[in-house]
Structure 1
């Protein structure tokens, strides 16, 4: 903790030992000699014209840059209506003050229709709900992908698996020039587009299409990123092709091949991607229609808290991605986008993938119950093969000057094959922690389970949005209809041998069953909204929402009949046909007021909901009706162009899923029987969130903060019961007393002597929950505190490096059994280096060191993941590269997880990729022509239609 604090302090304070000088000057009119106030003065690096700092002149036309380190610079003066003027200067340590002299600007008399004002853009610009980063201020290695750039942005975090978090919230969508790129998969853009074609990265609190159109903020926002490409890169060909192979520690060969080809021609964009590898590298997000993961296998673990994870790491070429398994990937796709005339715009994509995943895990699970405790040791192996086809289309048509229709259909077809083998031992409390031999005197039970299954399914959705403006400004009418369908079928064989021990003797249980399950879900949602302007600053919206969700789940289980050798013995206790229907009608209004500095909206809805559960197997029916008042409020205050504050309050309901309602046991894991509860009620949640953004353009300091708090009534949690033989039954129930709070703070600044961006990031999360264990109430409190520091430097054209550190403290407290309380630390340090050697040689390396410890059955563990690569660049523009890289040079890579639930703590280790060598050749295609002239409203920094401020969707 102390080392990280000192490291953070060193980064944020900069280097005070470097000699620094003041640079000052004066800006005047060349004719009148009068000073020019508020002229923009930029201090640029003479080497590459990157922005060092900038400011505006005062009332006397003077400017002064303080603490400028020795070096060569260029001063650029820009002022509307005048010609730009620049001057080269040299700052030396022996001159504490440098007078750059007087800059005389000449007026520029030209036709206003031909004026193009260009100005060095600041690194960060805040525009209401958009934070815009200038890509030139966050440079990356040559031929790097967008993901590398995102890692350098303040307030943005990128996990090893490519998941993006911005200001503490996960980014669900990444657009390219305001339009989808291979649907809504963020990784398709960040891992397949080069960083050098990006002009700006816009981080947006994106509202729904309907809210953007009406101009009424309903508080429903999602984090999205829009990548604005450079104007000169919008016409041409570009891409990256890679092929490579190499040995690893076993006899298997590692291989990786990649195809990436893009053709941009103004509004028309065509992209083709393909990849094949067995090094856990995926340029996309794996999506399953079976409800996460394979969706077909036994559930032997629990969710929880990740303590340490050195599973991933990518050096240079980007192979060796993050996973607690070993994955073989075959994938390819096509993305097309074009504007058809002035009225129509089409985006469409097709993507297919075939994934083969091997997972080997060992876990130690420690139960602490009100009257006893015991330990479960498990070894599990699974093989999962999934193939899927994804289609996405978005079509926008301008019916007339006031009416727009947008249709967005998409669907996925998927097939899966799953196999698993699980072995477990449950030990008595006397044997826990002894480390002694396991024998019949301390065993409670043993289990050996084989589960094999196949599955297929199709999921689809369609969103249709009709938007109509009227002649009176602010009067709108919109209709949104969304349909979602998910149909799946699985067929599995469950074979299990369980042996139970006790004082009166043991008993054996053998299970050999076939289960078939068919699930169908259809959801239709219609939302109608009408807005009426009451004055120049006030608008009133009336809206109506109707939603109908129908779920059908038919599960049939047959026991193995030894006399016939088939699965023909019907098991009525485990079979069930269940239908669940959830219908809501909601009506309400929102009053919004806009002022110069602030905007607020107050809404009030009334919702009537009905829940109908039909158990066709037992011929019983359950009906429930709910009436809720749903208030909401949004307040936004703009202190300045670069400082904003937003406060949001929402209330909402959540209905239980069909799997939570269906009253049939799931014995896929015979020692953990899962049972539905048809008496569940809907959840009701209140959420308050606060967001603050601040960037000081003259000092390059940034502050991004978020605080979110929620309270849920009738929270759906698990009630778990255990018998004396160690078997458990889990069933969802409603409880009260659930609270959650999480916060995020990032402070960033620029250290000019190192040409580095520094960010300090703090996280806090608190969770208070209530569960039931053996019919007794268990209250839990979980805290997570973490502090991180990161520095990225583009020191010069040859050297780029980064340093980061993070420490987290996590604790879990339980009212039912204090011996279950736990706390632990996780510390990590990482660094990466890019350096150009003579003869076009490049060395890259990255290393991550992990250390975790705490109150647990395991001991302190340390390990490091070190990747090294040496590359030789070819051709005139260095478009070709031959690279030799070593993944996990120290052969220490591992995956360690710590799970904490209401009934147990668990440590899990997984088999991961270890040391291998890879020799690859990469060719980067870059062939750009003179791009089409940008439209007047579509310059390099335009705000795309999808992300415009409310009320300006065309």
Structure 2
């Protein structure tokens, strides 16, 4: 028998075991792959072993000796099989034949207790088989599931790809973000987790397009959580006026669902960060996700500081979110959500920055930065789906995003024994409205039409102010130098209107082939205005007038395109070649002149999928794309970036051409619970947009050019995970190499970087014993700037503990140690973080009492380094001190 037929079950004990093996066949003797087999102890009725057949239909169960079992076998589309067997102290063999059956109900009934089952592109986890009782949130459940993980941003990943949508009982849960779900759905409400691979929410489109990067997740609730209100009310208080209030309420029924989540605290637990806000899609599809063109509309943000690892000197936050869905009829579904988040963040950073000058000279700046940041974030979305029959679907979505951000930053800069005190004030109230309309129409079995359109309206108004003793660019700006302080101000306004629309026609040429024709357009219109002025000592205003200091730019992009794709499935192969013909036109008006550029481009792409087994595939993607930048890069008049950086755009910029190649492997082996994935990506950028930097000591003037030197990047990542009875082994590797070309003083500067990260962990999964996870991560970052090169090393061992004590106490602890060094041994930083929670809850009680401690080692700061072509820096970032919090939770 194949060596892959190892022990599948991890529910057996360490007592003497025997093997029961054989083959599951259909009525004509063909082995059935992915048949489910469970072994129930005839006396205790407990599930003690399970397995799934391999590609030959072979199975292997490990059972206790001298025990009687009820063996149940099921396969989708076949009548379930069942028999009783009494084991001895020798191995047993038995083949099983299943007969075809039209009804699928029996299969569901037999396999409901399977810890994991794979049905086509869906992986179903029975969560009780993996949880230990210490889990409190969805994220605690997910990290226990084979093949599922959370990244550093709190987003769910499967097969190394982000889960794009999370649902509860088939209803969208804050569509466009998975972090809100992982942090708020109670663990004790979850019955099953369904991972939906190759996901397409439009039934008519399934199988027509390549959805290999689309992964969704559906949470199935326990019976007592349906058609009833449930939730939690949590409150906490501690020394130094620390507090926490976190009520949340949920309701699910077939027609209506409602989720209400609120959170207020000053302990640094930010439920919705500014990074989350910027990345929040609201479920809106990237219109050109499978296209050949990308058009940046820019964020045009002010460079507002971001808390590192969600840690800061002090964080005060308030959060409220409401999500609903309603089905007034069988043909109409409406849903929506609203989110509000407020965060007041205080940060302190001490930096030493070495700027590279010509002739191997350098200059050092010692800077101390204090930041006080107020951020208000708001989102509202409404969605509707109208589906009167199986052949027609109409979707409409609208989402509004608005923020009100302000940051005051004080900088003490020491250069050449001269101290400059700088106050920077940044404000903005950007707003965007995104609308989406989709129509799907099936004319008959061979002809399908789709229409998709999106409109983006975006208005950004960043304001910048700096007050300082010295002004670095007195030779560049006509400032009044007789003032006691330099009070410089800049207003900007960026208005964007972007329309995307396309019609797709699918002609079904056979059971496993189709032709896709696409006709579409993108029309982007942007206006960019900016002016700079000085506030004098007498509060009067000195405007910086002239073409060098005032921007008034109108920038338009037009893309008309025609696409052709052919999809064919033959044997284990799926081929999907295609190409698109684009007619581009750009024009920008500024400085009294009008510049127009036209380009015709043919962009091919190729997708190949090799389905090696039902749960194992190899995918290849090749695509040539064109990328266009936003209006801010074309604006030639000066713009202030910060106190030591000025930017001037380039109206002659053109698009860049990108060659993208990817190879992906995925395997989920149910025989020995081995999960593997590996991804390889290569990109070459031609005419890439690159920085042209003119260093001026610790200051710089920057512009953007189309480089005639090609940038390249190569990345690879792989993960191997193996689950044994009560142990899980995980290893992961990430490698990234890049060669980039910039200009410094108008001279080419080529840089190479090579980053490596290796990690491994061993964790336990005992039901009645403490559980431990031991892990180690090692990172190396190599930088080669031509004349200089260096390497940075990070070592991070970590330990996680969760234990149930005396059946009513739960103890969890998380310890991380960091060691950061460089090749020259000029950096040697060590710091660590420890947090712990102690919870008490009587059996069947709705009350829970807890003691939380964070940063128990009272670590004051963390350290890091960074490097660019013209500077490298090391910094000390201060974090919130140790705190304790007493909590009370009431389960509704």
TM-score, reference length from structure 1: 0.81
Cα distance change of structure 1 residues 770 and 166 upon mapping to structure 2, 3 Å threshold: farther
Distance 1:58 1:625 in 2: 55
Farther off after superposition, 741-750 or 174-183: 174-183
Deviations 1:881-919 (A, max 9, x none): 111122112112633232222222222221211211110
Match of 1:306 in 2: none
Q: Secondary structure at the match of 2:441?
A: strand
Distance 1:265 1:762 in 2: 43
Distance 1:72 1:149 in 2: 32
Deviations 1:794-813 (A, max 9, x none): 21245332222111111011
Q: What is the 5 A alignment of 1:41-440?
A: 41-43=37-39, 49=46, 52-56=49-53, 64-65=60-61, 76-79=71-74, 80-82=78-80, 84=82, 97-98=89-90, 117-119=109-111, 133-139=125-131, 141-203=133-195, 213=205, 215-217=207-209, 221-222=213-214, 224-229=216-221, 233-247=225-239, 252-286=240-274, 299=303, 322-324=310-312, 326-371=314-359, 372-427=361-416, 439=417
- Deviation (angstroms), 1:712: 1.0
Q: Secondary structure at the match of 1:877?
A: coil
Equivalent pair of 1:192/1:283 in contact (CA under 8 Å): no
Distance 1:694 1:48 in 2: 32
Cα distance change of structure 1 residues 619 and 367 upon mapping to structure 2, 3 Å threshold: same
- Deviation (angstroms), 1:408: 1.1
Distance 2:98 2:201 in 1: 46
Equivalent pair of 2:662/2:679 in contact (CA under 8 Å): yes
Equivalent pair of 2:132/2:766 in contact (CA under 8 Å): no
Match of 2:734 in 1: 763
- Deviation (angstroms), 1:478: 0.6
Q: Secondary structure at the match of 1:667?
A: strand
- Deviation (angstroms), 1:551: 1.2
Gaps of 5+ in 2: 1-9, 281-297, 474-480
Match of 2:420 among 434, 439, 447: 447
Q: Secondary structure at the match of 1:216?
A: coil
Match of 1:728 among 687, 700, 713: 700
Cα distance change of structure 1 residues 843 and 219 upon mapping to structure 2, 3 Å threshold: closer
Distance 1:230 1:403 in 2: 33
- Deviation (angstroms), 1:528: 0.7
Match of 2:19 among 20, 23, 31: 23
Q: Secondary structure at the match of 2:181?
A: helix
Deviations 1:121-168 (A, max 9, x none): 665556666655553443254452111233334554424542444444
Farther off after superposition, 855-864 or 645-654: 855-864
**Paired residue total:** 846
Distance 2:580 2:719 in 1: 35
Cα distance change of structure 1 residues 88 and 368 upon mapping to structure 2, 3 Å threshold: farther
Match of 2:796 among 815, 828, 832: 828
Q: Secondary structure at the match of 2:184?
A: coil
Match of 1:900 in 2: 867
Equivalent pair of 2:40/2:46 in contact (CA under 8 Å): yes
Match of 2:745 in 1: 774
Distance 1:282 1:693 in 2: 34
Deviations 1:69-119 (A, max 9, x none): 999996642245356456798xxxxx9x45679899999999988885321
Cα distance change of structure 1 residues 170 and 54 upon mapping to structure 2, 3 Å threshold: closer
Q: Secondary structure at the match of 1:190?
A: helix
Match of 1:943 in 2: none
Equivalent pair of 1:140/1:148 in contact (CA under 8 Å): no
- Deviation (angstroms), 1:263: 0.6
Equivalent pair of 2:190/2:219 in contact (CA under 8 Å): yes
Q: Secondary structure at the match of 1:148?
A: helix
- Deviation (angstroms), 1:169: 4.0
Cα distance change of structure 1 residues 341 and 614 upon mapping to structure 2, 3 Å threshold: same
Deviations 1:392-414 (A, max 9, x none): 12100014442110011111222
Cα distance change of structure 1 residues 147 and 580 upon mapping to structure 2, 3 Å threshold: same
Cα distance change of structure 1 residues 709 and 209 upon mapping to structure 2, 3 Å threshold: farther
Farther off after superposition, 121-130 or 552-561: 121-130
Match of 1:599 in 2: 574
Equivalent pair of 2:446/2:509 in contact (CA under 8 Å): no
Match of 1:787 among 737, 750, 758: 758
- Deviation (angstroms), 1:363: 1.3
Q: Secondary structure at the match of 1:118?
A: helix
Equivalent pair of 1:671/1:727 in contact (CA under 8 Å): yes
Match of 2:666 in 1: 693
TM-score, reference length from structure 2: 0.86
Farther off after superposition, 332-341 or 792-801: 792-801
Match of 2:771 among 800, 808, 821: 800
Match of 1:849 in 2: 817
Equivalent pair of 1:255/1:277 in contact (CA under 8 Å): yes
Distance 2:248 2:844 in 1: 19
Farther off after superposition, 544-553 or 198-207: 198-207
Q: Secondary structure at the match of 1:889?
A: coil
Match of 1:566 in 2: 540
Match of 1:528 in 2: 503
By relative contact order (CA 8 Å, sep 6+), the higher-ranking structure is 1
Cα distance change of structure 1 residues 298 and 188 upon mapping to structure 2, 3 Å threshold: closer
Distance 1:76 1:220 in 2: 36
Equivalent pair of 1:498/1:508 in contact (CA under 8 Å): no
Cα distance change of structure 1 residues 422 and 43 upon mapping to structure 2, 3 Å threshold: farther
Match of 1:713 in 2: 686
Match of 1:814 in 2: 785
Match of 1:866 in 2: 834
Distance 1:902 1:707 in 2: 27
Deviations 1:13-63 (A, max 9, x none): x9xx9776333378999xx9x99998743356999956754145999x996
Cα distance change of structure 1 residues 266 and 730 upon mapping to structure 2, 3 Å threshold: same
Cα distance change of structure 1 residues 171 and 111 upon mapping to structure 2, 3 Å threshold: closer
- Deviation (angstroms), 1:718: 1.2
Gaps of 5+ in 1: 1-13, 90-94, 304-308, 313-321, 428-438, 440-444, 502-506, 926-954
Distance 2:104 2:605 in 1: 46
- Deviation (angstroms), 1:699: 1.3
Match of 2:467 in 1: 495
Distance 1:337 1:585 in 2: 37
Equivalent pair of 1:650/1:688 in contact (CA under 8 Å): yes
Deviations 1:362-410 (A, max 9, x none): 1122233442222222111111112232111210001444211001111
Match of 1:890 in 2: 857
The answer as to 2:724 corresponding to 1:751 is yes
Distance 1:396 1:300 in 2: 38
Cα distance change of structure 1 residues 253 and 356 upon mapping to structure 2, 3 Å threshold: same
